[in-house]
Amino acid sequence: MKPSGSLLKFFLLFIIFGLVKIPLTAQNSNLYTQTERLSEQIEKKVIKWRRDLHQHPELSNREFRTAEKVASHLKALGLEVQSGVAHTGVVGILKGGLDGPVVALRADMDALPVTERVDLPFASKVMSDYNGQKVGVMHACGHDTHVAILMGVAEVLSKVKDDLKGTVKFIFQPAEEGAPEGEEGGAKMMVREGVLDNPKVEAIFGLHINSRTPVGEIRYRAGGTMASVNSFKIIVKGQQTHGSTPWTGIDPIVTSAQIINSLQTVVSRHSELTKEAAVVSIGSIHGGVRSNIIPEEVEMLGTIRALNEGMRLKIIDKIKRISTKVAESQGATAEVIINEGYPITYNDPALTAMMLPSLQNVGGQSKVKEMNAITGAEDFSFFQKKVPGLYFFLGGMSADGTIEEAAPHHTPDFFIDESGMLLGVKAFCRLVIDYADKKEGNL
């Protein structure tokens, strides 16, 4: 029996397209093999970089040594390098040998005003000035691992650039923890200076190592992943008087106490918590100089966290309304100042769905887990406001450790198991390779 003309055409098309697909699949398979092998070969180098960075931490907008180390490394790899972006930021551009999209990878560089307590041969002994105070400095959030991982990714991809589709921007960002008082910095400043342009970035990927996630695991979430953050100040003004005769003045301390108690209802009674989480916390209250003087003024500092933009705006309105009205009821006044913070870290759902198989392929399906949203904040969100982004978490807790024993981030005992960094290198490489093919419809 002879096949019909239409059936014959179908078989010919099948064969033709099959032949077209074979080289692409083989090419990707070869790239996967090469990048996996190269990643494993430089693991010791990545750890060595991390230890050097850990021993020499630098505060926000002061990452001079770190920036120089990064820039020298990228130049040695033959990348186009831009320095001094948003004060101390460094950007490396790697052009692949094949046409394709522009993808960005980001690592934050700054350390924290924390004195290290971990007994390590490369523990930080650095002291510095922070807002007028002498402080210890420590990489107490893992940014040293982020920098070392991205330096490793740049080296791996530079060695396979002839077979790489598109362009990769390596963004080494200063001041994620917030610029010093009176200064600008961080992702917002980098975006304003055009880091996502020339060439224009199509998608951006970022990671954060986590001291309470087991090594070998990746955690992700589509949509709102980390909260927005706004700091605020409330200045309560009363009338100073002697402590023995409070009726002759207006007590801003008692008024402030009532404001604090009333602010607890902003979340518990005015926020739709079945939609998303929210937090309002007062972290500082100061007023007065001695026991028998009721002061004229009290100042409070606090933070707002939200995972929904509508809820964030409503919380701000309630804080202003409650503070001013409670103060008014006591004969005092309250001024509420809301400072601009970070937006919600929002993982583009379509990008997340598209790249999830890549993370699962490199990490193992059982090791890539969906997570709940968290009320910490990240200025990676400023990049995501401009282009689709995916931000995920990398395990940094020892296999024999427990969450209860692992020190949280931003603490003197913060510790990272360095064996978790290799997965970060591999994951970034796989995301770059696969994004180009998925955009072309080849995967």
* DSSP string of 131-193, one letter each residue: TTEEEE-B--SSHHHHHHHHHHHHHHHHTTGGG-EEEEEEEEES-TT-PPTT---HHHHHHHT
CATH class of 228-338: alpha beta
- The mean pLDDT value of the chain amounts to 94
> Mean pLDDT throughout 134-149?
98
Query: What is the mean pLDDT of the segment spanning 411-420?
Result: 98
Look at residue 443 in the predicted model and tell me its pLDDT: 67
Give the pLDDT score at 441.
76
- The pLDDT of residue 440 is 78
Active-site residue, from 58, 202, 217, 418:
418
Mean predicted confidence (pLDDT) in 405-410 = 97
Rounded distance, CA 79 to CA 215, Å? Answer: 31
Among this protein's residues, is 418 annotated catalytic? yes
Query: What contacts 24+ positions apart, CB below 8 Å, involve 190-195?
Result: 190/85, 190/86, 190/89, 190/382, 191/382, 191/383, 191/385, 191/386, 193/85, 193/86, 195/85, 195/86, 195/89, 195/91, 195/104, 195/169, 195/171
Tracing tokens 């605020």 back to the chain, one arrives at 232
DSSP codes of every residue in 94-109? EE-SEEEEEEEEEEE-
Length reported for the chain: 443
- DSSP string for 66-83: HHHHHHHHHHHTT-EEEE
State yes or no: pLDDT of 26 exceeds 90.
no
- Rounded to an integer, the average pLDDT of 167-180 is 97
368-370 vs 218-220, strand pairing mode? parallel
CATH, domain range 21-227+344-440: 3.40.630.10
Give the tens place of pLDDT for each residue, 77-101.
999 999 999 999 999 999 999 999 9
- What proportion of the chain, given as a percentage, has pLDDT over 90? 91
Are the beta carbons of 324 and 256 closer than 8 angstroms?
Answer: no
pTM, 2 dp: 0.90
What is the rounded distance in angstroms from the CA atom of residue 156 to the CA atom of residue 167?
Answer: 14
Rounded Cα distance, 15 and 36, in Å: 31
- Residue 60 near residue 179 (C-beta atoms within 8 A): yes
- Cβ(144)–Cβ(50) under 8 Å? yes
For residues 238 and 24, which has the higher predicted lDDT (pLDDT)?
A: 238
Name the nearest CA neighbour of 372 among 208, 267, 230, 222: 222
Q: What is the DSSP letter of 112?
A: B
- pLDDT (average), residues 118-131: 96
CB 140 within 8 A of CB 78: no
Give the end-to-end CA distance of the chain in Å, rounded to a whole number. Answer: 36
Nearest Cα residue to 60 out of 198, 217, 195, 181:
181
Question: What was the pLDDT predicted at 12?
Answer: 46
Question: In angstroms, how far is CA 187 from the centroid of its own chain?
Answer: 10
Spatial CA neighbour of 64 closest among 44, 42, 89, 45: 89
Q: DSSP letter string over 330-383?
A: TT-EEEEEEPP-B--EEE-HHHHHHHHHHHHHHH-GGGEEE---BS---TTHHH
Top-confidence residue, 104 or 399? 104
DSSP one-letter string for 248-317: GSB-HHHHHHHHHHHHHHHHHTTS-TTT--EEEEEEEEE--SSTTEE-SEEEEEEEEEESSHHHHHHHHH
pLDDT per residue as tens digits for the range 337-387: 999 899 999 999 999 999 999 999 999 999 999 999 999 999 999 999 999
| HSE-up (13 A, CA, CB side) for residue 160 | 26
pLDDT at 29: 86
Q: How far apart are CA 420 and CA 47, in angstroms?
A: 10
Question: Among the options 342, 346, 391, 435, which is catalytic?
Answer: 342
pLDDT (mean) for 225-249: 98
At 18, is the pLDDT very low, low, confident or very high (cuts 50, 70, 90)?
very low
pLDDT tens digits along 39-75: 999 999 999 999 999 999 999 999 999 999 999 999 9
Among the residue ranges 63-67, 179-183, 259-263, 429-433, the one predicted with the least confidence is: 179-183
The pLDDT assigned to 131 comes to 85
Q: With 80 as the cut, is the pLDDT of residue 210 above it?
A: yes
Number of Cα atoms under 13 Å in the Cβ half of residue 379: 22
Model pLDDT, residue 439: 85
Given a cut of 60, is residue 5 above it in pLDDT?
no
Question: For residue 201, is pLDDT > 80?
Answer: yes
Does 253 have pLDDT greater than 60? yes
Q: b/e string for 7-33 if b means 16 or more Cβ within 10 A?
A: eeeeeeeeeeeeeeeeeeeebbeebbe
Q: In this predicted structure, which of 128-132, 252-256, 377-381 has the lowest mean pLDDT?
A: 128-132
With 80 as the cut, is the pLDDT of residue 25 above it? Answer: no
The rounded distance, in Å, linking the Cα atoms of 282 and 286 is 11
Q: What CA–CA distance (Å, rounded) separates 52 from 110?
A: 14
Where residue 28 falls among pLDDT bands split at 50, 70, 90? Answer: confident
Q: Where are the domains of the chain?
A: 21-227+344-440, 228-338
What is the rounded CA–CA span in Å between residue 234 and residue 259? 10
pLDDT tens digits for range 312-339: 999 999 999 999 999 999 999 999 999 9
Query: Do residues 224 and 344 touch, judged by C-beta distance below 8 A?
Result: yes
Least Cα distance to 218 among 434, 428, 439, 385 occurs for: 428
